[in-house]
Amino acid sequence: MIRNLPVVLASGSPRRQHLLLELVEDFEIFVPQVDEDSLTTLDPHKTATELAKAKALAVLPHRQDSLVIGGDTVVALPNDDGTFMQLAKPTSKKDAERMLGLLSGKTHLVITGVYLAWVGGSRSFNETTKVTFRDLTAEEIKKYVATGEPMDKAGAYACQGGAEKFITAMDGSESNVIGLPIERLQAVMDELDK
């Protein structure tokens, strides 16, 4: 059913684009303008899914003959009271250093929401991976932030890049942490095609 539709990725993330190539040979990139702050909720799972939905639905009217895939990743640090501190993309080098300091020595959640939309239907899901960082020194954090790598990433790090050496444990999908849970996306697309 949906396999015959052209695919459009509603995201400007180079990491999502690279990962989607593992599932889809040819797709278009259409970067929507979405006010992410207005869609942030107290529940990081809902935030990720709502942002993915907003991105996909912003693109669908422009590509009605296509399957539009929206995605958004949220890094969430559990608080003692059961709530979460959500870490988006850093707004400055200082902000990136602050985020990495918060993640140092702790386990956090990386949640990616995915929303598939086409004329006449939609499907959404989110995937969660637990990531544990070792204790980081202030010097390590400064050196990593100086590379510029953290600046366009939720939580201010790339697990497939320089921050790989910070991670002591990962429970769940690595592609999810990079930005698109391709194993789950493949399963959902296969299911929709039955």
Q: Is the pLDDT assigned to residue 30 strictly greater than 90? A: yes
Give the pLDDT score at 193.
84
Identify the top-confidence range among 1-15, 54-68, 79-93.
54-68
Q: What is the pTM of this model?
A: 0.93
Average pLDDT, the chain: 94
User: Crossing angle for the helix pair 138-146 and 93-103, nearest 10 degrees?
Assistant: 140
Segments forming the whole domain that contains residue 127: 2-192
pLDDT for residue 194: 77
Q: Is 72 a catalytic residue?
A: yes
Burial status of residue 140 (CB atoms within 10 A of its CB: 0-12, 13-18, 19 or more): middle
CATH of the domain at 25: 3.90.950.10
Domain count for the chain: 1
Predicted pLDDT at 1? 63
Task: List residues bridging with 117 in a β-sheet.
Answer: 68, 122
| Average pLDDT of span 87-92 | 92
Instruction: Single out the residue of 54, 61, 76, 69 nearest to residue 19, CA to CA.
Output: 69
Q: What is the dihedral of CA 147, 150, 152, 154, to 10 degrees?
A: 180
- In the predicted structure, residue 38 carries a pLDDT above the cut 90: no
> What percentage of the chain has pLDDT greater than the value 90?
86
CA distance 74 to 157: 12
Q: Residues 173-185: pLDDT tens digits?
A: 999 999 999 999 9
Give the pLDDT score at 4: 86
pLDDT band at 130; cut points 50, 70, 90: very high
Q: Which of 19, 50, 7 is nearest to 177 (CA)?
A: 19
Tell me the mean pLDDT in the region 113-119.
97
Q: Residues near 148 by Cβ (< 8 Å), separated by ≥ 6?
A: none
Q: Is the pLDDT of residue 29 over 80?
A: yes
- Choosing from 43, 72, 135, 152, the catalytic residue is 72
What pLDDT sits at residue 163? 95
